[in-house]
Structure formats: structure tokens, C-alpha cells
Amino acid sequence: MVAAMATATQSSEQLHSYNPATGESIGSVPIFSAADVDAAVARARVAAQTWSTRSFRAREEELTAFRKALAASADEIAELLHRENGKPLLEGYVEVMMALSHIKHAAERAEKALAPHKVSSGVLANFRATISYHPLGVIGVIGPWNYPLFTPMGSIAYALAAGNAVVWKPSELTPLVALAIEKIAKKVFALPDLLQVVTGAGATGAALAKSAVDKIAFTGSAATGKRVMAAAAERLTPVLLELGGKDAMIIDDDADLEKAAEAAVYGGLTNAGQACISVERVYVKDTVHDKFVDEVIKQVRDLKVGGDDGHLGAMTSPQQVSIVKDHLDDAIAKGAKVHTGGPDAISGSYIQPTVLTNVDHRMKVMTEETFGPVIPIAKVASVDEAVKLANDSKYGLGSSVFAGKSARAIADRIRAGMTSVNSVMAFAGIPTLPFGGIGDSGFGRIHGDEGIREFTRVKSTAENVMSIPLNMMSFRQPKDATKRLKGMIKQLYGEGVVAKAGDFMRKLRG
């Protein structure tokens, strides 16, 4: 039994966390009311005021200490991820490692990503123009249950590195992982309120979205994302939405089919398919379709479901099992062929990996986020058809392409935030690459320089470095100002374009 570790002034109401594999309660946590959330945000604001004045080097040192403390607790955290989310222990360790890589990158990169830089001052050549980046203040992070550590850390690490404090609302299904991280943060950071966790259900998340935070970074479903955005709109709080996906994989006839199958199996089934960047549908050129399907089935048959050494763990929630079953029933009713698994092979919180063929876009399994261990494979007559179908989606998060020389060109035609070429999901593990989607997959970016700047406000400074007679920011103009301006308009923007800034300055001086 994991003891509840909350420390703040929250109400006495408790929420239980369950092991999805066994159904047993593994701990209870407080439910933060709206007043509790507001109090946490107020404390975070005080911490942010100090943290934002620290040098990049000082912040990097504390974030490095945080990273090392998390690495030292990797066993405890991976075990908690395994027990609370249902994923195999190995996947728990993978998640810890990925999260640490982002903390390292964000801490080390922030100073460069946020360095003020000069830009051209254009027509106002007597000015020095500078862009600088400044912390927003307090960031509210609302995290999901599928990657309870890695996903929120993609916002938390970058927000902290940029000089903000964070209030984090984890999913009610996985609060213990978040509290374990908060406990470590409180020991390591000189400011104990720099990273606070507010536990509870949807209402606690809604309270955070309405609170006085300076930005909300949300990961979850599109439906809840819209609610979060509506709540944040009351204060015009900006939002970053990392929502679901319906990621397509395209396989051309010159692809390495064994590698493509390996990627489809991993990408479709890792974390029991509960990843926003899971491979949710596969389009294969007709000439290699049957061979590819055989290879996928062969590899799927080698997988073990359940147990500490299983490849696939328990589904995190019964609701998710129902969604997957509904998608499978719908597909079968519309003519899909089941090769492995299927709705009859669902037992409690375990779903056997399911390979489907004869699928099309009338089926939910090809158009809505299934978020389960299902690989639907469609046969296509051409790459053009594959691209058209891949782009026939309200989502646009990740994607992947397996092909020979044309792979990169195919990748460029896919309407999505990210694409892996001859691989799967790789973009999520490369901290320099921004992560995010378009359409119903949301907007804004975590990771990369964009992910650091996402948690800053951009400041533009125009600094007058030279006096000129024709100062356009003044009513005190020379008598011939109109004549000179007329000439300048022609010279600068008309036929007689003045190419060099020096020429322009001479014109201004008259």
C-alpha cells in the first residue's frame, strides 16, 4: 500500500488509485477543491518570482539535481508506473528514461533557445531591434494517464527551464506517480512550491484551467481539451493542447517488410496501444499487402500479454476497454477480418493484440482514436491513395512511412505534426524535435526550442541608436518631409529599390 503523500491545505475527501491488473487499491490521495488549487497557484506565483530571477546556470544546476534524484529513484518510479498504469515494468523504465532525457535537454538548452537576438530593423535603420524571451509565471499542467510521467514532463521540464513555476494536475487514474515526483522535487528544489501537484478528478483539472495560471498545458482527449480551452478563455489564459491522434503508417512496395512489420507491431501495441502517437491504421501497397500481414501476424503471435515480463500490460481503465470493444464490434459488423485477438479475446482489463484487415473509413477503427492494442491494415492500390487516406482524418499528430528512395517525399505529403521515416515514434525520443499536432490533435509544441519558447512571452525591443532629421516617430519634421517621404516610398518600395541600408541612411539624412 502506497501512503498518500499530499502536503498542502487540501480538503479531507480522498480519491483511490487502483492497480488495473488486479483491481486492488494501491493508495489514496486528497481531492483538491477549487480553493485548494487557487492557493497552490498563489504559492507557485511566489516561487516563480524568485525562480525567474535566477540565472540559466543556476536553474540548470537545480534541474540537474532534480534529474539525478529522479534517476536514483528510477526503480520506485518504474514500479509505480507498472502498478498504477498497468504497463509492463520494462515500459515503466523506458518512460523514466525518456522523461529524464527531456529534463536534461531542457535544462541544458534553455539558455541558447531563449537567448535574446538582434533582427533587422528594416526601414527604421536607426534602430537596434531585439527579440527576447521572458518566463510567463505559473504554468498549469494537466496530464494524462497513459504516460503519467513522460508526457507531463514534456511540459514541466521545459516550463521550469524557461523560468516558470508549475502546478500539475495528474489524471485521477495515476496520481501516485505524480506525488512521488513532487516529493522528490520538494527535496531538491530550493523553492518547495516550484513544482506542486494538485490531485483530484476532472473538477480539479477544471479548477486549474479557470485559475490565475499564465498558461495551461493540457494532454488528453479532444473533447476535454475543448472544455479546458473554454474554461481558460474566461481569463484569456493561453493554452497548449496535446490531444489524441489517429496516426497512419504508409508502406510502399519497396519497403523492408520485416522492419515495417516490427515497427507496426511495436507502434500499434506498445503501452497496449494507449499512446497518442500509436500506429492506429496501416496502409500497405497491394503488391506487398499479404506478405506484410503474414509478417505482422507472425510477430504478434510471439508476444506475451500480462505478467511482469509481458510485452503488453493491462488496459489502464475499464472505459478504455469498452471503447476498444466498441470499435472492434463496429469494424467486424462492417466486414473487417480478425486475424488475432478480437472482441471475444478480451478478458477483464486485458486485450489480446488484434490484427484486422479488410478495413475502410466507414469504420470507427479507421477514423476515431481507438487507443488500444489494435492494428487495422488496409490495402491500397498506390502511394497516392495511401497519402489521401492518411490525410482523411480530423487528427494530425504523428505518422510513419516505410519505403525506399521515395520515403522522404511521401513523408512530406502527410498532413501531421510529426513523421518517422523507416521507423516509428522516433520523433518523441529526440528532445530537439518539437512535438505536437494540428486539427483535433491540438496546437502548440512541447520539446525542442519551440517547446521551451512555448512557456515564455516574446518581447520586442526597438532601441534608438542614432538621430536622423527625418524621424518618423515625431511631429517635428523638416519642411520638405512630404517630398522626401514620397521619394523614399518610390525608392524603397517602388521601381527604384534601394538595396543597401547604407544607401537608405544617406537618403534619410538628405
Catalytic residues: 242, 276
Nearest to 249 by CA among 287, 296, 204, 206: 296
Beta bridge partners of 191: none
Distances (CA, A) of 232 to 36, 206, 239: 18, 9, 7
Shortest distance, position 389 Cβ to ligand NDP, whole Å: 20
Shortest distance, position 18 Cβ to ligand NDP, whole Å: 13
How does strand 456-464 pair with strand 127-135? antiparallel
Give the residue with the Cβ less far from ligand NDP, 63 or 243: 243
Shortest distance, position 231 Cβ to ligand NDP, whole Å: 6
Give the residue with the Cβ less far from ligand NDP, 240 or 508: 240
Nearest to 369 by CA among 247, 229, 226, 219: 247
Nearest to 382 by CA among 479, 281, 288: 288
Give the residue with the Cβ less far from ligand NDP, 77 or 173: 173
Shortest distance, position 471 Cβ to ligand NDP, whole Å: 51
Other Cβ atoms less than 10 A from the Cβ of 305: the count is: 20
For 309, phi and psi rounded to 5 degrees? -105, 15
Angle 442-445-450 from CA coordinates, rounded to 5°: 155
Nearest to 214 by CA among 277, 262, 166, 173: 166
Rounded to the nearest 10°, the torsion over CA 497, 499, 503, 509 is: 50
Instruction: Give the span between the Cα atoms of 47 and 135, in whole angstroms.
Output: 13
Instruction: Give the span between the Cα atoms of 150 and 87, in whole angstroms.
Output: 13
Shortest distance, position 175 Cβ to ligand NDP, whole Å: 8
Give residue for cell 479548477: 207
Instruction: Give the span between the Cα atoms of 330 and 336, in whole angstroms.
Output: 9
Which DSSP state fits 3? P
Instruction: Give the span between the Cα atoms of 340 and 303, in whole angstroms.
Output: 11
Instruction: Give the span between the Cα atoms of 373 and 399, in whole angstroms.
Output: 17
Give the residue with the Cβ less far from ligand NDP, 135 or 313: 313
Nearest to 134 by CA among 205, 73, 67, 214: 214
Instruction: Tell me which residues touch ligand NDP (CB under 6 A).
Output: 142-146, 169, 171-173, 201-202, 205-206, 209, 219-221, 224, 227-228, 242-244, 276, 320, 323, 369, 371
Reading across the β-sheet that carries 456-464, which strands appear in turn?
Answer: 117-119, 127-135, 456-464
How does strand 117-119 pair with strand 127-135? antiparallel
Give the residue with the Cβ less far from ligand NDP, 105 or 169: 169
Give the residue with the Cβ less far from ligand NDP, 316 or 420: 316
Shortest distance, position 454 Cβ to ligand NDP, whole Å: 17
Instruction: Give the span between the Cα atoms of 109 and 64, in whole angstroms.
Output: 12
Give the residue with the Cβ less far from ligand NDP, 158 or 189: 158
Angle 456-458-461 from CA coordinates, rounded to 5°: 145
Shortest distance, position 211 Cβ to ligand NDP, whole Å: 11
Shortest distance, position 42 Cβ to ligand NDP, whole Å: 19
Shortest distance, position 227 Cβ to ligand NDP, whole Å: 4
Distances (CA, A) of 382 to 388, 421, 423: 10, 18, 21
* Cβ–Cβ < 8 Å for 178, 168: yes
Give the residue with the Cβ less far from ligand NDP, 137 or 442: 442
Three cell numbers written together for 110:
534553455
Give the residue with the Cβ less far from ligand NDP, 232 or 255: 232
